A and B are shown apart, each in its own frame.
Chain A
Amino acid sequence: MSPLAPARRPAHQIRLSRRLASLTGWTLTGTCLFALSALMVWILEVVFVRGVTALRLSVLTTVTQGTGGGLLNAIEGTLVLSAGALLLAVPFGVAAGIYTAEYRFTRWATTIRFLADVLVGVPSIVVGYFGYVGMVEWLGWSFSVAAGSIALAIISLPYICRTTELALRQVSNDLRDAAYSLGANDRRVILGVCLPAALPAILTGVLLALAVSVGETAPLLYTAGWSNYLWDGHLTHSPIGYLTYAIWNFINEPFAAANALAYAAALLVTGFVLIINIAARFMFDRRARR
């Protein structure tokens, strides 16, 4: 308690009922926090204990065979799909983020910012079904890397836009003023001064978007399909495996080998997502820089 805290009555001068109410309040709120942390620990315990038991070297080095084998095809597929999604979403998302940050008071920027937030809220299965009827059926791409990557890109686009905007907003206006006063135009100020200054935070945002892509299932179920084989390099007309599908599908199989694959996949996905989130927190903690 700070030295400026107001003087308070000693506890015995406060009515018992009020003291009891306060005690109950702290107990209940504390219980909520404890329960939440305990549930988080429970989830992590299930994923990590079962995942570590199921993880073998062969899981990482062989492809799926029926309901057994390994996950190499799924690991490769997740990497290919996420990389494709980032390749598509980063240029657009960063550009949109630059616009909403640097011209933040224009009506178009307000609109974009608002719609990016709305797009974050569109359920991922809606994006997935849009991908199915639009790309898989209507464009005739069938289950493919292209359809899956575009669906994932739609999911990560608004994240990248918003984190880029937040990153640029933390760049001090003094920097911009200095650059403008030296005669630089908008393009030089933004690309030469603001963007380099905000780059670590922007990269953090991109990493977090990558974590989201790696953990998504619903947008991929009917766009990427599933394959037991490694990717053949075709962008369309060739389904591809991914880890989240392995979790969903293999946990429902009645075979221990299949369940083990599901646990291993869950460990890989959760571990990857957590590492990115923790790294993002440690490296570029915004609060610490405030």
Chain B
Amino acid sequence: MKFRAWLALVAGILPATLAAIVLFLAFYSWPAMHFNGLGFVVRDTWNLGNLYADPIMRNGTQVQPGATYGILFLIVGTLLSTFIALAIALPMGIGAAIFLAEAVPERLRLWISFFVELLMAIPSVVFGLWGYVVVIPFLGHHFYPLIAHSLGKAIPFFAEPTGSGYGLLTASIVLSLMIVPIIAATLRDALVSQPASLREAALGLGATRFEALWKVMLPGTRKTLIGATFLALGRALGETMAVLMVSGNALNYLPHRIYDPVSTMAAFIVSQLDSALQDPTGLAVRSLAEIAFVLAIISIIVNALARLLLLMWNNSQRSVVI
């Protein structure tokens, strides 16, 4: 066979891997999908049933009596933590990118952006360690009572009790720090590569430096920013270890306050496998596989969308792999 054909064949391992993951999870979780039905995503009870009783037949599937699998609380937890994280990370990332691209001298810029973007290299479990050891006590003892006493007076979602520090807001804050560099790095690249003539034209018309940036340069990077936001969204949706360590791992509970414990789909798979293995019918393990399948599909859609947006809108080639 020719060299080129060989390469093409070997390169096929990438699509094959992606397909294998999705198809195998679908295949493995098929009995669970059949048993759970579409109600899987709208029920908010995850109950393995009575593990000491004999399995019974229901809908043609062997289950423990009383078993119900629903992940609404996980979907709510995942979406809430992701969106709060984005709400923190977007302004922070945009601000940092603007200052890096426009206010920091070029020699320093490389070093400071490198330092800040090193955040991307820090392993998830180290973020979790940091969150667990120092952030939770700090937020729980100092920061949350402060918000509850100010903002909480007006908005019930922020009101007391502030809990122990484990929970939705803590998870979101740690998550936001993990996705900020994606936004900051991409936007800084886009800002720096904007044509200088744009700024010169704006300055020539009498704009201040900030006005030139805010009204002329920044709108030009809007599309890149949307793509980067989707990338960050995808990252936050699937983040596991850090969330697992700071979210409080709620079970069957919908958060009423921003301090309440939550769990996300990714973290739940880790925290529940041990108990799922106690189910002699194996349906719990297959239901976890269904969660993994749902998570895979969501993240594939989000990431595909992000890449398509960046491809369509951005003809310049990225110099970093994010």
A218-B124 in contact (CB<8A): yes
Contact with B along A25-38 (1 / 0, CB 8 A): 11011111101110
Q: Is the interface of A mostly helix, strand, loop or mixed?
A: helix
A95-B10 in contact (CB<8A): yes
B295-A123 in contact (CB<8A): yes
CB of B313 to closest CB in A, whole Å = 15
A12 interface residue, CB < 8 Å from B? no
A228 interface residue, CB < 8 Å from B? no
A46-B133 in contact (CB<8A): yes
Interface-located stretch among B41-49, B66-74, B90-98, B164-172: B90-98
CA distance A73 to B276 in the complex (A): 28
Please name all residues of chain A whose beta carbon is closer than 8 Å to the beta carbon of B231 when the two chains form the complex.
121
A257 interface residue, CB < 8 Å from B? no
Please name all residues of chain B whose beta carbon is closer than 8 Å to the beta carbon of A185 when the two chains form the complex.
3
Interface hits, A176-219 → B, CB 8 Å:
185-187, 190, 205, 211, 214-218
Please name all residues of chain A whose beta carbon is closer than 8 Å to the beta carbon of B283 when the two chains form the complex.
none
CA distance A195 to B239 in the complex (A): 35
CA distance A67 to B48 in the complex (A): 31
CB nearest to B293 among chain A residues: A126
B292-A287 in contact (CB<8A): no
CA distance A262 to B125 in the complex (A): 11
A256 interface residue, CB < 8 Å from B? no
B292-A130 in contact (CB<8A): yes
Given contacts A6-B200, A95-B10, A119 and B118 within 8 Å (CB-CB): no
CA distance A115 to B14 in the complex (A): 7
Interface-located stretch among B143-151, B155-163, B253-261, B266-274: B266-274
A133-B321 in contact (CB<8A): no
B21 interface residue, CB < 8 Å from A? yes
A134 interface residue, CB < 8 Å from B? yes
Please name all residues of chain B whose beta carbon is closer than 8 Å to the beta carbon of A114 when the two chains form the complex.
304, 307, 311
A270 interface residue, CB < 8 Å from B? yes
A277-B13 in contact (CB<8A): no
B184-A25 in contact (CB<8A): no
B203-A133 in contact (CB<8A): no
CB nearest to A165 among chain B residues: B321
CB of B154 to closest CB in A, whole Å = 23
B-side interface size class: 35 or more
B125-A215 in contact (CB<8A): yes
B121-A211 in contact (CB<8A): yes
CB nearest to A189 among chain B residues: B3
Contact with A along B134-149 (1 / 0, CB 8 A): 1000000000000000
CB nearest to A116 among chain B residues: B14
CB of A251 to closest CB in B, whole Å = 6
B112-A33 in contact (CB<8A): yes
Q: Of A22, A40, A108, A215, which one neighbours B123 at CB under 8 angstroms?
A: A215
Q: Of B118, B241, B319, which one neighbours A217 at CB under 8 angstroms?
A: B241
A247-B24 in contact (CB<8A): no
A157-B127 in contact (CB<8A): no
Q: Of A18, A25, A39, A111, which one neighbours B15 at CB under 8 angstroms?
A: A111
Q: Of A29, A99, A118, A120, which one neighbours B8 at CB under 8 angstroms?
A: A99
CA distance A53 to B130 in the complex (A): 16
B238-A40 in contact (CB<8A): no
A222 interface residue, CB < 8 Å from B? yes
Contact with B along A116-139 (1 / 0, CB 8 A): 111111111111011011100110
CB nearest to B304 among chain A residues: A118
Q: Is the interface of B mostly helix, strand, loop or mixed?
A: helix
CA distance A277 to B306 in the complex (A): 25
B303-A126 in contact (CB<8A): no
Q: Of A103, A112, A138, A214, which one neighbours B14 at CB under 8 angstroms?
A: A112
CB nearest to A103 among chain B residues: B4
CB of B21 to closest CB in A, whole Å = 5
CA distance A6 to B269 in the complex (A): 58
CB of A116 to closest CB in B, whole Å = 5
Please name all residues of chain A whose beta carbon is closer than 8 Å to the beta carbon of B129 when the two chains form the complex.
46-47, 247-248, 251, 262-263, 266
B203-A121 in contact (CB<8A): no
Q: Of B3, B21, B128, B235, which one neighbours A127 at CB under 8 angstroms?
A: B21
Extra contacts besides A47-B130, A133-B25 (15): CB < 8 Å: A6-B200, A33-B95, A36-B92, A39-B119, A46-B130, A96-B10, A114-B304, A126-B296, A129-B25, A157-B13, A218-B240, A247-B128, A248-B125, A262-B129, A263-B129
List the 9 closest A-B pairs by CB distance, nearest first.
Answer: A123-B238, A32-B95, A215-B123, A121-B303, A22-B210, A96-B11, A29-B99, A95-B10, A187-B3
**Chain B interfacial positions (CB closer than 8 Å to A):** 3-4, 7-8, 10-15, 17-18, 20-21, 24-25, 28, 91-96, 98-100, 103-104, 110, 112, 114-116, 118-119, 121-130, 132-134, 177, 180, 184, 200, 203-204, 206, 208-211, 213-214, 231, 234-235, 237-241, 244-245, 266, 269-270, 273, 285, 288-289, 292, 295-296, 299-300, 302-304, 306-307, 311, 317, 319, 321-322
Residue pairs across A and B with Cβ atoms less than 8 A apart, 24 shown, are A4-B200, A18-B208, A22-B209, A26-B210, A29-B96, A32-B94, A33-B96, A43-B126, A99-B7, A108-B8, A112-B11, A112-B15, A118-B18, A124-B124, A126-B299, A133-B285, A137-B285, A157-B14, A166-B321, A205-B321, A218-B124, A222-B273, A273-B121, A287-B110
